């Protein structure tokens, strides 16, 4: 049992409140998964400054200031490294690929937890409410946020095993459930040259979607393919810088509820995570139907 939350803001007047609202949603899902948690935030000017690339890093051995010095020397740009618990948030002016390559060269032992122009991913072990406070999540701004509280079933309780899984540029996936045939699909993807960081079944789903998007498919088509190829019980929330999508398996036994207003779209494993959102009393509320793709575009 895990908890999923997501918030896609349509009203720019709410952008300064993204972190506040996401913090409340995440805290309500603590009982569904109290061993670890993670969030993905789109558009926070502190963590992903405009015109900068951002890379979220786990398990780097060097202190943040030493890594910043090494990356500045390697890239020729002024690189900042912000330590937030187990996650280092690295950002620098320019494109993400050169920064990503420099991070991997300077800290080969580290795990890239997310990267892009607008995306910051934070993950750690601990109680979700405590982690949100440690990260200063309530002060975050932006237009979209995704969160996950984990009760581990398929892999170890580590920061890297927490969700979201963010393996493509500005993309992330969170998952409640399990994929029964993840080992088979992992082998198929590896045969296509896809590299994995873990044995977690969720990473297989994230890599599948990222590969489909890299092949030119849109999110809805990628998720239709996932439903056709993956066996198991699951609710998924998939996001990138422009879209926010939800899908459940054919049985739909993993809970999910969506609320939609003119100002925002939100999704959670349980309604109580949505109950504090502004205007929720007038929202269109529904449970996603089995294998139907629900997608919203910015």
Active-site annotation, residues: 2
How many whole angstroms separate alpha carbon 225 and alpha carbon 192?
Answer: 16
Where do we find the tokens 């999508």? 245
CB 164 within 8 A of CB 150: no
Distances from the Cα of 215 to the Cα of 182, 210, 211, 224, angstroms:
20, 9, 6, 15
Element holding 75 (H helix, E strand): helix 64-75
How many whole angstroms separate alpha carbon 286 and alpha carbon 27?
Answer: 22
How many whole angstroms separate alpha carbon 217 and alpha carbon 39?
Answer: 25
Where do we find the tokens 């780097």? 60
CB 103 within 8 A of CB 55: yes
- Cα 125 to its chain centre, rounded Å, is 15
205-225 as b/e, with b when 16 or more CB fall inside 10 Å?
Answer: bbbbbbbbbeeeeebeebbbe
According to DSSP, residue 216 is labeled T
**Longest CA pairwise span in the chain (Å):** 53
How many whole angstroms separate alpha carbon 64 and alpha carbon 41?
Answer: 21
Residue 155, Ramachandran bin (φ over 0: left; ψ between -120 and 50: alpha; else beta) = beta
How many whole angstroms separate alpha carbon 198 and alpha carbon 130?
Answer: 26
Identify the CA nearest to 186 among candidates 202, 166, 169.
202
What's the token pair of residue 254?
């993993």
């Amino acid at each position: 049992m895990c908890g999923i939350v997501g918030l896609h803001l349509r009203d720019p007047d709410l952008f300064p409140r993204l972190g506040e609202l996401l913090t409340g949603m995440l805290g309500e899902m603590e009982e569904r998964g109290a061993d670890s948690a993670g969030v993905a935030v789109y558009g926070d000017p502190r963590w992903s400054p405009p015109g900068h690339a951002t890379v979220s890093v786990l398990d780097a051995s060097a202190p943040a200031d030493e890594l910043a010095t090494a990356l500045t020397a390697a890239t020729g740009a002024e690189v900042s490294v912000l330590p937030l618990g187990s996650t280092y948030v690295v950002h620098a002016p320019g494109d993400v690929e050169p920064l990503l390559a420099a991070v991997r060269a300077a800290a080969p032992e580290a795990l890239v937890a997310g990267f892009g122009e607008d995306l910051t991913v934070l993950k750690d072990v601990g109680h979700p409410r405590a982690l949100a406070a440690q990260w200063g999540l309530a002060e975050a701004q932006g237009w979209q946020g995704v969160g996950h509280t984990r009760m581990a079933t398929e892999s170890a309780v580590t920061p890297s095993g927490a969700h979201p899984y963010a393996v493509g540029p500005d993309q992330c996936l969170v998952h409640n459930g399990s994929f029964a045939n993840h080992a088979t699909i992992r082998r198929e993807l590896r045969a296509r040259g896809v590299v994995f960081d873990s044995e977690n079944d969720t990473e297989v789903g994230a890599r599948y979607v990222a590969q489909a998007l890299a092949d030119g498919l849109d999110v809805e088509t990628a998720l239709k393919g996932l439903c056709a190829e993956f066996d198991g019980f699951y609710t998924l929330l998939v996001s990138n810088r422009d879209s926010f999508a939800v899908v459940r398996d054919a049985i739909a036994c993993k809970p999910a509820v969506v609320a939609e207003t003119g100002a925002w779209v939100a999704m959670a494993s349980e309604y109580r995570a949505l109950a504090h959102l502004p205007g929720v009393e007038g929202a269109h509320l529904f449970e996603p139907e089995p294998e139907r793709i629900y997608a919203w575009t910015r």
